[in-house]
Structure formats: structure tokens, C-alpha cells
Structure 1
Amino acid sequence: MSLEPPPALIDTVPRKNTPSLDLLKDIRVLDLTSSIAGPYAAQLLADMGATVVKVEPPGKGDDVRAWGPPFLNGESLWYLSVNRNKHSITLDHAQPEGYAILQKLVAQADVVIVNLVPRIQRKLRLDVQTLSALKPDLIHVSLTGFGCDGERADLPCYDLVAEGYSGVMELTGEPDSPPQKIGTPAADLLAGQDAALATLAALHRRGRDGAGCAIDISMVESMTRFMSPRILSYLGGGDLPQRSGGRDSVIAIYQVFDTADKPITLALGNDAVWGRFWKAVGQPEVAQNAAFATNALRRAHRAALVQQIADLLATRPRAHWLAIFARERVPAGPIQDVHEVANDPSLSARGFVYAVESERGALPQMGLGIRFDGMSEGSTRPPPALGADTVKILTQWADVDPAHIEGLHARQVV
């Protein structure tokens, strides 16, 4: 059986060809990272218009290029998910010739992003002290598992490890199941988003007073901050939250319910929504019961209320209830699988799921999900092939003669 996705899946995705955003058009970023978190941070900056140069080892490139199957025309789909709108060069900056070129590139950059532990940053001369000596107003972004100091600073880390440290795995899943990882690389993506956010703030300050910045992002801390509502509730309230399949929210009725065919989510988040729900299902008298007037009272009667709602929703199919709830503005929705999400008509209508054409064929993409003056990320630069822009970038940024680049390539420097 082929491990390639059926071409029909790609063929059904709408094509998109829009110009780049210009919010960061004068900003140059060197992306020295691999895997997911760092490349995602750089992609966010690229989506907003920065010129991002992805620096990869000659021959094999970013580790994520090998993550699969599935592959699309030989390319990792994980790679394609976090590398659009970039240029790719190959450069072995561990070699003296390569590091000399890297120094020239750093001198032309506004931002450098690295995802090596502090010890390796210093060994390869990619640490903030070394690179800032080349360019004093440089924004140096270090994205690691545990941050740049402390006893864990030099420990390796991946998304799975960060999720375990954060507590999110301990609270994910059913009570009688083992701890579960979130179904997407949440720590990677949150840390990458933090890195992009911090970079924007540092660029704003540099524009004001000319100062560079050393940004220190910890995947564990980004993921743990995501847990703030649960951790602070424990610190202030003393009750240790337990894994419960999402049925112990501070909101009384905020969980999954079965209908006659498919499950739905139901979030009765305030008193007004509580009233609209019971009106929608034809039982307004329940909302008028003083015993359920506040969220605290509803929490006290949660078990009975959940059973009452469960019995009611089981009598009709999902489509019936979702139509009623949409009409009455009751927060509810389906539990979509990936196929349904990829084909969600509302997301497609907003241009969120799309494909871009490239020399390697159509490549699927997931949108930035942010609009500026009605525009979102450009789609004219697909995720680059390994080293596709080496000659162009080294010529323009580092003033390397094209003939010399041929010799560098022969010596596996590029």
C-alpha cells in the first residue's frame, strides 16, 4: 500500500496566490533552527513580511525534512507546515569558511533565531554575546527546552518532554486512562508563537532606542504558562485537579455530550447562555429555577444537571441540536476529525486551508489566521527546497562571488 496521500486530497484544496504582507518588509531574519518550534517562530515573522533565510546543513537539511511518512512528492508534510515564505541556504557554519560567511550574514540581519542549548550555542559561537559583538543592535532569540540558565539549561528537550513537565499531560484524558499528549505539538507551537511575539516587542523597542535584545524562550515555560488557570486555581484554592476527560471545568456545564448519533460540545458559560439553552430545548422553567441561578449553584448540582442534559440530548441527532443552538446563540459545536476540519466550508471560505503551486507540485498550507487590513499571509513563496536560495543570498547578503560558491559546494561548506 502506498504511503503517499491520494492526489485527490490535494486536488480538492483551494489554490491561493496572494502577495506578501508588508508589516515587517524591512526586517531580515536568520533562522538557524530545526524541527518545529524555531521554524514556526520564523514562519510567523515571514508571514508578516520579514525576509527569512533558513540556514540548513548541506546534504540533509533541517531534521524535520525527514519526518514521515506521510511524504508528498518526497517532501515531509511536517516540514511544509512550518517553513513557507522563507529562503533556504545550505551552510556548514561549523567549518571556518562557513562561519566566516555566517558572520557576514549576521551583520546583515536584524534577528537571529537559534534552538541549541546554551553549551552548544557557545561551542558553535552562536550565543548572544558572540553574535551581538558582530551587530550590537541584534535581536538574538534563543528557543530551548528549559531556558538559558538553571540546572536543566543544557538538557535536550522535545515537545513530548515539555508537555510532560508542564502538567498538561497529567490532566489530559479520561480518569481511568494514562496521561495523554495533546494531539498536536502544542509546546513547540506555543513556544514558537512566544518567540515571534517577543521578537516583535524587541523590534519595537529597537526602533525606539536602538537597543538589541537577548530573548530567552523556554518550551517548558511556554507550555506551563498555558496551564495558568489550572495551576493558579490549585495554588489559591488547594484542590489538586485530576484527569477527568474535560468534565471538571470551573464552568458548571462545559463538556462533551452524546446525541442520538454523534457527540457535540456544549459550553454554557454564563447565566444568559444558561437561560438561552433551556429556552432552546423547550424547558425554560429549568433556567427560572432559583436553585440553578448562578454558576456556583449549578456546580453544586452538576451531576444531576449533566444527567438531565445528557438524557435530553440523546433523543435527537447532532444536526438537530446544532441547528437549534445556532439559532438561539448557544455555544455548541461538532467534534470534527481532521478530514472534516480540512474540508470545513467556513474555513475554506476565509482562505484558511489552501494549496500553493510550486515547481514540486501543489503544496497544502494552513493559514496564519490573522488579518491585517483584510489581508493575511502571502502565498507566493512556498516552503523552499533545500538550498534553493544559497547562491542568491550569499551573493546579495555576504558578497560572495558565485564562482567561489561552486568551490564551497565542492568542499561541502554549502
Structure 2
Amino acid sequence: MTEPDQQPTADERRHLLKTVLKYTWYKPVLQALGSGPARYVDLARNVKDRAGNPPVESQLNLALKSLTELQLAEKEDPADVRANWKLTEQGHVTLRDLGYLELVQRGRHRNSTPPADTASIDPDIPHPARRYNYWLGGKDNFQADRESAEEFEALMPGLRDGIKENRDVLRRAVRYLAAQGVRQFLDIGTGLPTAENTHEVAQAVAPTSRVVYVDNDPLVLSHARALMTSAPDGKTQYIEADLREPDQILQSAAVHETLDLTQPVGVLLVAVLHFIPGDGAAKPIVQRLMRGVAPGSYLVVTHGTQDFAPAHIAAGHEAMRRQGRSDIWPRGRQEITDLFDGLELVEPGIVPNTKWRPSPTTPDLDLHLVAGWTGVGYKRG
């Protein structure tokens, strides 16, 4: 392990999670300490209450000794045998990550799908959906996601305000499409559930609206299945698929069971195309998706950009991207406009996220914090 004043490396964090999951009493002891420092006798009672087969004293002592060596738990005063036990800072982080894995397992079990294989989950690779969740104030993320998010925020203080507005423009666009009569939505790169998800916004306008959510992270889909339930008159479905394989999405049984592709569909690509690297790489994907839906359909795109970024921020992000610490490929307004070739742009055209049909409560943020373009296109017959 690291010295007490050092942060664990990625390999060490992975080792901590796997070790806690491997040994019977480590996790319940951490959970018992999660409510606050406790004397040994109270800790033993708490663990006993949590476990159907409580540990004997020697097992509890061994667990505490091992958790101390892992720097997950410690005594408030090591010299006092009666001192309280408590979690270390890393103990709190590990307990939070364990809680996230547990939530995923419950979500999959509730929907009659196999529990997540925690041994196969790598908590040290940041994922865009979990990073986005952290920015929105959620708790469904790992330490690596939080560290990645904070690195972006260090480069661009105030970034969270722009992230929240990206989410808000999704809601405004869905309300607009629903008001135009669209009753079917294909939300690709859905991200983790939050307040006012696509189906909730659409079904508030038209209760019969149907939505298919698509994401390439099985953890995201576990949450979606567990937490996002349709209104009685509508329908929601969830598929694990990758935006880079649009045919797989369009040919999915779940899509065809839920949506009628001969009728208009709202195709939502919100804050996802900038994870497709390469000049011109996003356009073929968008065109294939729009060929697969009927006339009368709409395309909604929000996309990260550096068009508004000061030079030092643009250079800092480019350095992060070259070093593999950023998975975002920002695009300029012209390349984003090209995504709508063959479609009729809805007014006001390609504009910053906060400028697309803003509500009275939409803030007038500095555009370098908005850092994104929004466009909505209509497919004529």
C-alpha cells in the first residue's frame, strides 16, 4: 500500500475492491463503520445485526487487522485499546464504490438478468456516463470517474454549470419534438438516470410516447432498467449497443418491438458524438441512423466544442487528449452543421446550448463554460 498521505494508484484501488469483495467480513465491517466511529463492542453488535452468520471474535479481529493494513480502517487513538474504530478517507471511498456495485447488482436482479460480475468491472477506467453523473451531483460513480471529472474542472472552473445546461437543452428539445407530434424517441448514449429523463419529459406531453434508451455501458443499462419505468400508456426499452455500430441499433429486436420505424422518430444524440474521435468520423454514423427512420423524424445533437475556449484551455485539453486523459473529441460549428446535411434545420439553427429555444430560467452563461453546440434537424419526405 501507499504511505498514509498518498493517494492509492489505480492498481491499488482495484486491489482494495477485489480484496474487500473476496473476504467474508471485510465488507460488513466497512458498512458498519460507514455510519460513524464505533467502539469495538458496538461495532461487533452492528456487524452481528447485519449478518445472518455473525463472525466470532477472532474473525472480527482478523478483519479489523487486515482492514487496518489496507488503510481502510483505523483506531482514533492506536495507543488506547478502548478507542473508537473509524473509516479512513480511503475507506469511505471504497465503501462508496462498493455501494455502487451493490446497486448495480440489485438493479440487474430486479429485472431477471444476471447480477453484474463484480470481478470483471474495472473501477479505474473513467466512463463518460459516470463522470457526467458526478458533474450533475449524482453518486453513481467510481473514484476514477470523480478524479477524471475534477481534472476537467481544474482546467475549466465552472464547467458543471455548462454540463447542467446541456442536460436542460435535452429536455427543451424533447418537449419541442413532442409538441410537433413525435411519439417515438431513440435516445443513444442515454447516460445514468437523473431527474426528468427523456421518457418522463415526452410522456408529460403525450403519455403514449415510447422511448428506447441505448448505451454501451452495462452498468448504465442496469440502472436504467431498475429506475426508469414508463407511464402506463407508454413504453420504455433499453439496449446495450454502441453508437459506432448504428446497424446493430436499428436492427435490434428491442427497437422493433418498441418503435415503428415507418413512423417519425426523434433520434437523440446528446453529448455523445464527441466520443467518436476523428475528423469527419461522426457524420457517417448520423447519416446511417437518419436513413433508418421515416420522413417526419427529427435529429437532436448536442456536441462539445472548443470554439469558445480561451487559448490556454484549448491547449490544456489538447494536452490531456494526447496523453490519454481525455476521451472527448471537440468539433467546430461547421463540422457539426455538416451532420445535418439532407435535413432541414429547425430555428434557431446551430447555436450554443443555452441559446437553443431558452426558457425564462435558462442562465446566460459565458460561452466557454457552455462549450457546446446544439442543433435540431427535420427529415422531410
| TM-score, length of structure 2 as denominator length | 0.27
Q: Which has the higher contact order (CA 8 A, sep 6+)?
A: 1
Please state which structure has a larger fraction of its residues in helix: 2
| TM-score, length of structure 1 as denominator length | 0.25
Larger radius of gyration: 1
